[in-house]
Chain A
Amino acid sequence: MLSLALSSRPLTFLRPSRRKPTLHRLLLPKPLATATASASALTPLTPRFDPNSTSGPDPDPTPLFLRPANHPVPAAALDAFRHRAAALVPPSAPHLHHQLRWLLADAIAAGDPSSSDTALLRAPLDDLEDMWQQHVGCRRPFQYVVGNEHWRDLVVAVRDGVLIPRPETEAVVDMVRKVDGFADGWWADLGTGSGAIAVAVARELGPQGKVFAVDVSEVAVEVTRLNVQRYGVQDKVEIRHGSWFEPLEDVKGKLMGVISNPPYIPTDDLPGLQPEVGWHEPKLALDGGKDGLEHLLHLCEGLSLVLKPGGFFVFETNGNKQSEFLVDLIRTKWSSSFHSVEAVLDFAEIKRFVTGYRR
């Protein structure tokens, strides 16, 4: 198991068979030329999950930490599980040991196992065992296994089919907060995914403020709805299903800001991705087409139409190369429309973001 956990590809028989078919991608009307082009450019990654697979029921899509706590187990059994699970991962992988703790933190509803005989769990031990196995054995992202990601001060629900929000992206919210008068403006989070950015921004807004959370993926829209509800920001977040600027016709020229973390990985790089990402996360959320710039360029082009004068934008990018390219492009080609365009570093000192203002 040890080597399996660290390096080997999942064996076919271990492949989780309960994946929800990602039909939304096939069923959607083709919105914009750019979006369509990149959708067709998607390269299947290995292994592929058979969308027609019927083996096994859909898993409970409710994140573990939100499930009812109705599985009492003897503390000793829980302890035994803890040891078995820990034995599956080497001591040299501290993050896996953290994750095991987090799995248990999400699963245990009551009863500190060290001080009582029974623990109350949100899932049967067998399920936990299965979850752990999916993670260390099949490289299924831990966040999909437990159904959440801790992001900023939020616990964001996630599931197969939406991108797991990344720690780098946390900084976007701080940039938004620094914009003069941001709290009472209208914002758009384009490609909202789990809704992480939209919810985090919404929570900072004043009475007039609002976020339009846009995504072309139905799963994203569903998950965003859940997160919006969980944080009680329904009156601040308006979810719109569609491609980039298309669902925003009615707010053209009215936005104080546009935020987007669009798919930016060059198509050619997709096959080499870390298994947790390449095998499990939606290509729709990752594939940026040739050079990874397809969506970013489309967004840059549409910006000046939706932003009001003085409006702010922040895009996440693949790093130095893309950021430098975009800054250069906007400064030269669209210098009449934008000012103070710059690349902003992430915590690892990579030029991760491009920000600027509409004139």
Chain B
Amino acid sequence: MNARVIHIASNTFREAVRDRVLYNLIAFALLLSGAAILVGQISIEIEKLVVINLGLTAVSLFGVVIAIFIGIGLVSKEIDRRTLYTVLSRPVRRWEFIVGKFLGLAGTLVVNTFFMAMGVFGALLYLAHHFHKADAWVLVALYFIILQFLIICALALLFSSFSSPLLSAVFAFALFVIGSFAEDLRGFATMAQGGSRWLATGAAYLVPNFSALNVISSVAHEQPIPGHLILYNTLYAALYTAMAVCGAVLIFEHRNLK
């Protein structure tokens, strides 16, 4: 792949690490071990269910918060501080900068999720003393969570390429919340009448479908996840992410720097 994109991505990763973003892992570890110990004292039957539910939900929320808060500053901070001047006056194309930034943040989130996942599996091991075959579905749930992060990152990047960091954060977070109920929205849309029906359907399909990407509770109940869902979700996330990043590139290509 393009070397400059990789250099930009790894510098973005380095920035996140030096800004102590990974310190969130300490909070996560404390939360999870506290919960595991507490649950371990209550009952034998539901403890696994609770740990998987709680653990994966925490993984997802921690990641979304990081994705949004780094994502909104990814470009706007560089414009405001004028650190971009000495980058874009080099043989770096604007799209390379955006894609590099995106990949850097995505990499940060994957590494972060990896450590959090180790925590979740550690907690499972602490409770059950060995792994079950069904625990492999937890990996699929984690994969879907990462797909969510990619979409959120790309959206934060897109918003921040034309609006202020605060508004971008609000937009991105709102879309995350709405997207988590995307299936319900689609249901409501079919109940609407006339012109508003088309509008509602359009909106329901435009927001990212995070509900399909959320399989936490079925995994917690040890239900298997169908293979076609994995395939479908992968394609969906790839397409959605690519479109959002392209949008960000298109806007940024024409932007006058401060």
Q: Do A and B come from the same complex? A: no
